[in-house]
């Protein structure tokens, strides 16, 4: 952690109320960054902020463009700066393709997972540009968007593929302002959102057996990729990259779930 010293930097993390977002906030805070915690569930944000040094909380719904604009107006009013943005907010609804409610689920996932990243990235870009900040934007994709999606995850995989490609496309617009944008593509990690999918202890062992590294990772296993991409000191020439963190699982031909 001493290697990635982020003292004096401020990081905004969307979807910070639990799971990967909570760990991203803890990780960035642990190396000295001021963290701005953003999510729809304000009560959980406050609980987390009390456990961190130099944290601020803002309630924001990334799927609502007006909510995003209001959030950034508040940051501007408070004189905050944003050096790092982690686009983590997402929803994952697994549903059989072409079921009766699949269109509503598909639209909600795309609105949050894709349009939410678009709204926040646009706002962050303008914020960094206006304040002359050479910042880092990190999109949280998924191996489901870059390899083989597990069953009943068409909408989720589509949204994550678009998020990864969006980051690659944005580089032409952001590089002229010295703003870097990259993605991290995790596999299935132990989080409240995914643990129900892993099922019983026996099912967890079976799933781990399909991973070349032999275990299901925890959110802390993403710290290295996150801190590398967040640090201008160590990744000033890295942009448009997508770092896969999956223990080798995407090497296979099927999730088997």
Q: What is the mean pLDDT of residues 136-152?
A: 84
pLDDT at position 255: 44
**CATH architecture assignment, domain 2-189+219-244:** 3-Layer(aba) Sandwich (3.40)
- What pLDDT does 18 receive? 87
Q: What is the pLDDT of residues 58-115, one digit of tens each?
A: 999 999 999 999 999 999 999 999 999 999 999 988 777 777 567 788 899 999 999 9
- Which residues does 222 contact at the CB level (< 8 Å), separation at least 6? 20, 23, 24, 27, 184, 186, 189, 245
Q: Which of 119, 156, 177, 237 is catalytic?
A: 156
pLDDT attached to residue 31: 96
Q: Which residue has the higher pLDDT, 151 or 187?
A: 187
Q: What percent of the chain has pLDDT over 70?
A: 93
Looking at residue 257, what is its pLDDT?
Answer: 43
Q: If pLDDT is split at 50, 70 and 90, which confidence band does 149 have?
A: low
**What residue segments make up the domains of the chain, in order of their start?**
2-189+219-244
Q: Does the annotation count 156 as an active-site position?
A: yes
The confidence score (pLDDT) of residue 253 equals 45
């Amino acid at each position: 952690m001493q290697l990635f010293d982020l003292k004096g930097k401020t990081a905004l993390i969307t979807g910070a109320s639990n799971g990967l977002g909570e760990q991203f906030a803890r990780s960035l805070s642990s190396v000295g960054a001021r963290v701005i915690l953003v999510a729809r569930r304000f009560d959980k944000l406050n609980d987390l902020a009390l456990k961190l040094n130099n944290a601020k909380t803002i309630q924001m719904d990334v799927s609502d463009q007006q909510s995003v604009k209001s959030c950034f107006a508040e940051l501007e009013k408070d004189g905050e700066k944003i050096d790092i943005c982690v686009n983590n907010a997402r929803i994952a609804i697994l549903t059989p393709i072409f079921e009766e409610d699949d269109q509503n689920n598909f639209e909600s996932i795309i609105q949050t997972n894709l349009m939410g990243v678009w709204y926040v990235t646009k706002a962050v870009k303008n914020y960094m540009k206006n304040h002359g900040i050479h910042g880092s934007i990190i999109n949280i994709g998924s191996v489901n968007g870059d390899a083989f999606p597990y069953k009943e995850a068409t909408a989720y995989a589509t949204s994550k593929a678009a998020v990864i490609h969006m980051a690659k496309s944005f580089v032409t617009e952001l590089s002229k302002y010295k703003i870097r944008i990259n993605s991290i593509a995790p596999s299935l990690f132990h989080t409240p959102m995914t643990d129900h999918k892993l099922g019983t202890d026996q099912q967890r062992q079976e799933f781990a057996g399909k991973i070349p590294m032999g275990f299901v990772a925890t959110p802390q296993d993403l710290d290295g990729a996150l801190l590398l991409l967040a640090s201008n000191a160590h990744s000033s020439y890295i942009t448009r990259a997508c770092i896969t963190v999956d223990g080798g699982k995407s090497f296979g031909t099927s999730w088997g779930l």
